[in-house]
Amino acid sequence: MQNSNANDTSQSKSRQSISSHPVSGEAGEFHSSQAAPASSALSLEDAEEILRRVYQSAGIAPPENCSEILCRGSKHTRT
């Protein structure tokens, strides 16, 4: 029984350490404080570049009609 209590103590210390030292800005993490304001917008050229990079990172050849895909997508999301 003592072993489980000792384990519980070390786990709670670990939890306290994690919660008292938040990690921010590491690669792969997104924080809402880093989000662009709603009023800012990407240019079509920037959006095309991002789309191409997403395709390439997935190992897929990017389509030639990136701007058409982006424009078509924006029409579907507008209400």
**22-62 pLDDT, tens digit each:** 455 455 555 555 565 665 777 888 888 998 899 999 999 88
The verdict on residue 75 lying in a domain is yes
List the domain range (segments joined by +) for residue 66: 42-79
Q: Is 53 inside any structural domain? A: yes
Q: Is residue 66 part of a domain?
A: yes
Based on the structure, what is the number of domains in the chain?
1
Contacts of 61 (CB under 8 A, 6+ apart): 55
Predicted confidence at residue 57, as pLDDT, reads: 94
More confident residue, 49 or 75: 49
The gap from C-alpha 49 to its chain's centroid, in whole angstroms, comes to: 17
For residue 52, being part of any structural domain is answered with yes
CA 32 – CA 45 distance, rounded (Å)? 24
